Amino acid sequence: MIRAAIFLLLIVMPIGASSEESWRPLVTTYCLDCHDGLSEKGGINLEPLLEAPLADHRDTWERVVRQLDARQMPPLDRERPKDLEYATTVNDLVSRLDQIAAQRPRPGRTSTIRRLTRTEYGNAIRDLLALELDVAELLPADESSDGFDNITVGDLSPALLDRYLVAAQKISRLAVGSEPGRPDGRTVRLPADLTQEDRVEGLPLGTRGGGLIRHHFPRDGTYEIQVRLTRDRNDLVEGLGGQHELVFLIDGAQEASLELLPPKDKRDHTGYDADLKVRIPVRAGTRDVGVTFVKASSPVEETFRQPYEAHFNYYRHPRLSPALYEISLLGPFDASGPGDTASRHRIFTARPKEKETPEIAARKVLAPLLRQAWRRPVTNTDVDRLLPFVQDTMTDGGSFEDGIESALAAILVSREFLFRTETAPEGLAPGTPYPVADLDLASRLSFFLWSSLPDQELLDLAERGELSDPATLESQARRMLSDSRADSLVSNFADQWLYLRNLETITPDGRLFPGFDDNLRQAFRRETELLVSEVIREDRSVLDLLRTDTGWLNERLAKHYGIPHVYGPRFRRVVLDDEVPRGGLLRHGSLLTVTSYATRTSPVIRGHWILENLLGTPPPPPPPNVPALDDNTVSADLPIRERLAAHAGKAACASCHQVMDPVGFALENFDAVGRWRDLDQGRPVDATGGLPDGSEFEGVEGLERALLENPERFVRTLAEKLLTYALGRGIEPSDAPTIREVVRSAAENDYRFSSVVTALVQSPPFTMRMSDVEN
């Protein structure tokens, strides 16, 4: 950790005679007792920096700037400079570092080869073949690094290659609509803790529970839909009292129904749901498949006296009615043809005719697909590589469409499709910065903003060499932000930055939080996604992520928050009263839950999360062999502040906890599932908190106010997260001048989201690259 000694180095460093003289009074005032710590601090040898030129160690001094700007040095227990002195010091050093960066840019080096992530692969299939699929059923998840899953994707193991081969064959068959050798099946299992007593969004009024899934039907024909019902530990179907009607829908229209009657033997439900299946004629294409129950009316009094919204646990809050366990689709049976699908329209732009041979037609079909899939102009030689797949298939008795299917599968496992490559021009010395080629820039831009392939407009501009023009680049970025494909910034970027994906693995203790279920889990996630989407879509200030007087709520979430007059599963924007403690990210159940334990809140995790993801100043990792809080002999009946005080009192723990804990304490009015509370263990909640700069405040409102008093810190952190996500590499000290310029540029436009993005995509790290360094 860089401590107070760095402050001494900063103020005596020879960056100009006048600067050195101006800092001497500060040496006397603050750092006379720091001389003994000049050798090694935080793994950095500081002694050589005293006389060395600033440019020789700018990475180290960038770290110094970060520590000073966060007011994390000198330590809190020592006399510290005033804010004006801090600001003067930081501004002077930043000015000098920025001048050096302008004269000697270091854009950093991205990986030469990067595989598409699972999300990018799925989006690429959607945009290339007009085919919507859940690729999570085909490919494994990617490992995360530096907060995102597009960092460590440089390899392709044999096992993963097999998965891609199988996926390519299935995808090409579905896109073309060829007839499978046998009916194809898919099973979707609903979450075990999903309450199914109310209507599911997207299903008709007057229904309850069930599921709505998006499914691609490859051919016109008859398909079988089968369901299984949830069972308790005694293998009995849950909630099976009285008569129930199960309905099957395609694109919202009811196609079939089944009647459920109680079994004759109430103690034996063996095989009860074995034949809950129907066969329905369906036209080819991607459609919404719904299976749900007709909702039985219940007295108003009965509705109001239910103690919990959750109903899925047989022993605590059992289901009141039958519920779906899984939905299976099988088919086609009696297929009549491939139908008229969006995929076939996209693919078959030409067919063999009397005067047009299969080879000519195949070239017309494959050339535009190759151009978009490989993200560059294609030549006749490129197409020649694929023609044998068509020709050999037809020679073996297959049709022209069968041949195109084989060629598509080859495209989807080709190196040019699965991998993004960026290579330096020939003749460059190792470590030399150079502008990224326009075609590579098009891929950078599209995978950043869309998590998908460049479209035709981007490729056209890149091929003409016009995309690298700053004005064109900004115009394209704004165009792409207004496109629906920019929703990936929510579902891919924000879901990882804000830990929303972690919600899937969060299960609070059912004894302490019996009202928690998957409905609430998904509502938490949707609330935060809608806020981020609103800021992006309306191009609002990114500070509105922290400050807003509106919320996105449905009935389930509103009840959890204690907000009245919100009904139904549909999310809507609600203007919040002043006394309602909801609004910005710090008040969202999603963030508050993923930063808690299953049984209690964690000011440590919450404080660490805020420091890392909102302020960009994470504390150092804990020293080894530090016991967890529960391993200490501290009474579990004490409020968490008192329990942590005993833990942080240890010398090995204090240095980190005095930075993290005060930040997290400000959120103590929210329990482990985001509910507001005034008491903890029967005592009033103490939500007094503070930041590493020594500022103190009360509660979440005070924390928000403290963050917004220095908005550039939050915007800087967001810009760093966006740059990490955009480039597929971690932030380096050499990126700091770029980040500062992005923040300054965005400040001129009230920190609007588009101003952050457009500044990033025109920056040296995004538009340039360092040539490979020799080992």
CA distance 238 to 321: 7
Q: What is the pLDDT of residue 138?
A: 96
Pairing verdict, β 572-575 and 550-553: antiparallel
Percent of the chain beyond pLDDT 90?
71
Instruction: Give residues with Cβ within 8 angstroms of 411, minimum separation 6.
Output: 366, 369, 370, 373, 386, 417
- For 572, left (φ over 0), alpha (ψ -120 to 50), or beta? beta
Higher pLDDT among residues 15 and 704, named by residue: 704
Higher pLDDT among residues 742 and 81, named by residue: 742
Confidence of residue 654 (pLDDT cuts 50, 70, 90): low
* pLDDT at 37 exceeding the cut of 70: no
Q: What is the pLDDT of residue 26?
A: 35
* pLDDT at 676 exceeding the cut of 50: yes
* pLDDT at 775 exceeding the cut of 60: no
* pLDDT at 89 exceeding the cut of 90: no
Q: What is the pLDDT of residue 39?
A: 31
Q: Fill in the amino acid letter for 67.
A: Q
Task: Answer for the pair 225, 277: CB distance below 8 angstroms, yes or no.
Answer: yes
Distance of alpha carbon 540 from its chain centroid, rounded? Answer: 20
Q: What is the pLDDT of residue 645?
A: 64
Q: Count Cα neighbours of 493 within 13 Å in the Cβ-side half-sphere.
A: 27
* pLDDT at 65 exceeding the cut of 90: no
pLDDT in tens, 236-271: 999 988 899 999 999 999 999 999 998 888 889 999
Confidence of residue 85 (pLDDT cuts 50, 70, 90): confident
Percent of the chain beyond pLDDT 70?
87
CA distance 641 to 644: 5
Q: What is the pLDDT of residue 675?
A: 97
Q: What is the pLDDT of residue 185?
A: 94
Q: Is 511 helix (H, G, I), strand (E, B) or coil?
A: coil
Say which range, 10-14, 145-149, 551-555, has the weakest mean pLDDT. 10-14
Confidence of residue 36 (pLDDT cuts 50, 70, 90): very low
Confidence of residue 638 (pLDDT cuts 50, 70, 90): low
Crossing angle of helices 118-129 and 158-176, in 10° steps, is 20
* pLDDT at 160 exceeding the cut of 90: yes
Q: For 306-325, b where at least 16 C-beta lie within 10 A, e where not — what string?
A: eeebbbbbeeebebbbbbbb
CA distance 68 to 71: 5
CA distance 619 to 659: 7
Rg value, the chain, Cα: 30
Confidence of residue 695 (pLDDT cuts 50, 70, 90): confident
* pLDDT at 319 exceeding the cut of 70: yes
Confidence of residue 693 (pLDDT cuts 50, 70, 90): confident
* pLDDT at 631 exceeding the cut of 70: no
- Strand (E) or helix (H) holding 113: strand 113-115
Say which range, 91-100, 146-155, 359-368, 428-437, has the weakest mean pLDDT. 91-100
- For 310, left (φ over 0), alpha (ψ -120 to 50), or beta? beta
Beta-bridged to residue 163, according to DSSP, are none
Q: What is the pLDDT of residue 9?
A: 40
* pLDDT at 75 exceeding the cut of 80: no
Confidence of residue 422 (pLDDT cuts 50, 70, 90): very high
pLDDT (mean) for 314-330: 92
Long-range contacts of 742-751 (CB under 8 A, 24+ apart): 743/712, 743/715, 743/716, 743/719, 746/542, 746/715, 746/719, 747/711, 747/712, 747/715, 750/541, 751/541, 751/542, 751/543, 751/711, 751/715
Please tell me the pTM assigned to this model: 0.91
Percent helix, strand and coil across the chain, each to the nearest 5: 45, 15, 40
- Computed over every residue of the chain, the mean pLDDT equals 88
* pLDDT at 109 exceeding the cut of 70: yes
CA distance 647 to 633: 10
Angle (nearest 5°) at CA 683 between 681 and 685: 100
* pLDDT at 181 exceeding the cut of 90: no
Higher pLDDT among residues 383 and 305, named by residue: 383
Say which range, 23-27, 471-475, 595-599, 715-719, has the weakest mean pLDDT. 23-27
pLDDT (mean) for 206-214: 97
Q: What is the pLDDT of residue 307?
A: 60
Confidence of residue 7 (pLDDT cuts 50, 70, 90): very low
- Strand (E) or helix (H) holding 573: strand 572-575
Beta-bridged to residue 216, according to DSSP, are 286
Task: Answer for the pair 629, 605: CB distance below 8 angstroms, yes or no.
Answer: no
Q: What is the pLDDT of residue 773?
A: 67
pLDDT (mean) for 738-750: 97
Pairing verdict, β 285-294 and 244-250: antiparallel
- For 562, left (φ over 0), alpha (ψ -120 to 50), or beta? left
Q: Would you say the C-alpha torsion 300, 305, 309, 311 has a positive or negative sign?
A: negative
